Amino acid sequence: MSDVEDTQPRDIPTSRRHLLFAGAGVIGGLAAGALGGSDAKASSAEQVEHHAHAPQHAGRSALARTARECIADGETCLAHCFQRFATGDASLAACAASVEEMLQACETLAKFATMDSRHLAAVVRFCAAVCEDCERECRRHAQEHDSCAACAESCARCIEACRAFLDA
């Protein structure tokens, strides 16, 4: 006999256990059907409405994608700033601060664009302003630091995507 005690309940017959699992499966299937598991075709009016939102969805997708690209380049830039700090060089302190703000703004933009928040337009305006500050600060160091140049370019693309979304 094993040192590990058998934890299977001995007083519940196997057939009863199977019945409980089968019942749970049926309930799960019914719940899935109630939540839209129907194979019915959408009406033509619903299909037209769905396709009318396609440009908006594309705009939100572009915003989220551009924000994530900005985040990736910003994280690289911030890591470079920290490396410089470790050597005692604090000349990139303002750059690091602006990148940190941009990272937070772009993270919010990516999330709000993905979830189609009713506050998206306000977040887009806010993020564009933060990216403008970050781009300006990173451009000051772009000649000497490739990561700053890449971050500035990503911010410029994010600003452009924000403006295009607001103009649409």
What contacts 112, CB < 8 A, 6 or more positions away?
119, 120, 123
- CATH classification of the domain holding 130: 1.20.1270.360
Asked if the structure places residue 8 within a domain, the reply is no
Number of structural domains found in the chain: 1
Q: Is residue 117 part of a domain?
A: yes
Q: Is position 11 within any domain?
A: no
Q: Is the pLDDT of residue 55 over 90?
A: no
Whether 121 is covered by a domain: the verdict is yes
Kindly state whether residue 16 falls inside one of the protein's structural domains: no
Question: Of residues 47 and 68, which shows the higher confidence score?
Answer: 68
pTM over 0.75: no
Q: What is the pLDDT of residues 117-166, one digit of tens each?
A: 999 999 999 999 999 999 999 999 999 999 999 999 999 999 999 999 99
pLDDT for res 39: 43
102: containing domain: 59-167
Q: What backbone phi and psi angles, to 5 degrees, belong to 142?
A: -65, -35
